[in-house]
Amino acid sequence: MINKKIAVVHEWLEILGGSEKVTLSLLNIYKTAKLYCVVNFLNDKSISNAVNGEEIKTTFIQNLPFARRKFRLYFPFIYFAIRRFDLKEFDVVVSSSHAFAHSVKTNKNQLHICYCHTPMRYVWDLQKLYFQENGWGSVFTSIIPALFAKFLRRLDYKTAQTVDYFVANSKNTQSRIINNYNKDAVVIYPPIDIHKFQVEVNKKDFYFISSRMVCYKKVDIIVEAFAKMPDKKLIISGEGKYKKELMEMATPNVTFIPFQPFEQYSEYMRNAKAFMFAANEDFGITMAEAQACGTPVIAYAEGGALEIVVDGETGILFKEQTADSIVDAVTKFEQMETAFSADKIRQNSERFSQERFDKEMMEFTQKYINEKGI
């Protein structure tokens, strides 16, 4: 255990997704760390246990009207809210950041390590997509958001320079940190508790998705693809803005279910013929979890998928984000389905184990504590 006063800063706690699982792991590594976040609406005992039942520090946004359901409406104020955290008492600050967490104020006597899930996609590479999603596509309605995005990019770059050391969750993210922030980063893959996942050799006759229903996840093209394959069953677990629209376009061979508790989620994962993934994701922790179940992954050949899936051995990678490309990938998968080994796929997932993450993060943190002389 590191014998220093440590603060862990996260953007918001709403669902227990990939970045939240990393934050939970960080709290379990730094046993006495305090947790700070913009809002906390996650009713999950694992987080409470990780902070030993102590108060999770939040910002003024927690108590604003409609914050529980619509806290993202206050997006323009999140940067300023995080900057108001007083962390002077801590020796080490570890930010778990996909937006503003790395903007937290620190001083020259503190060590600030940022575990970066992605540079803020809203204002960098996916700006146009987010504009379209929010109805800001016309010239007139996009002027103000575009100016605001430009302002945020400058702000994001400036505050990134105050981080002492970046840790990236993938080589893909590492490249974006270098390009957007002009900062080096070390890659430490996020953790999968592979021991919680069981391998099922005898798969059932369905494909599976677990995803938030947002624009860049590209669930729509998977639904469109399965409309062209009516003899193949697809189960989609998730919630989000586009769920109703996706349900309306779906054919009878596609079933929608809510996000599942872990036991049910892992059961779907291990029994599925393959896990479907069409996004260009920074890492994509669900793909690694599918591999931990010995389940092949059929994914878009960009981003984290290139680092998780071994094409032709632990899954199939398709080249274009189109329904036809997915149909071709599923066809190819079924032609060689018997060649996939559940045990070999499971072995591939061991690169992302919890033990490996804990060891690498602990050693990284201790190294720079020693170098800084804290």
pLDDT tens digits, 42-97: 877 778 788 877 889 999 999 999 888 888 878 778 899 999 999 999 999 999 99
What is the rounded CA–CA span in Å between residue 118 and residue 156?
Answer: 12
User: What pLDDT does residue 354 have?
Assistant: 95
CATH code at 6-191+353-372: 3.40.50
Instruction: Give residue limits of the domains in the chain.
Output: 6-191+353-372, 194-352
Residue 11 sits at φ, ψ, to 5 deg, of: -70, -70
Residues of the chain with pLDDT under 50: 134-141
354-372 and 18-29 helices cross at what angle (nearest 10)? 60
Structure tokens at 323: 């329904």
What is the rounded CA–CA span in Å between residue 297 and residue 315?
Answer: 5
User: What pLDDT does residue 142 have?
Assistant: 55
Same CATH fold assignment for domains 6-191+353-372 and 194-352: yes
pTM here is 0.87
- Is the domain 194-352 a CATH 3.40.50.2000 member? yes
User: What pLDDT does residue 126 have?
Assistant: 56
User: What pLDDT does residue 347 have?
Assistant: 97
User: What pLDDT does residue 139 have?
Assistant: 45
SS3 236: strand
User: What pLDDT does residue 133 have?
Assistant: 53
Structure tokens at 194: 């592979």
Structure tokens at 147: 């100016």
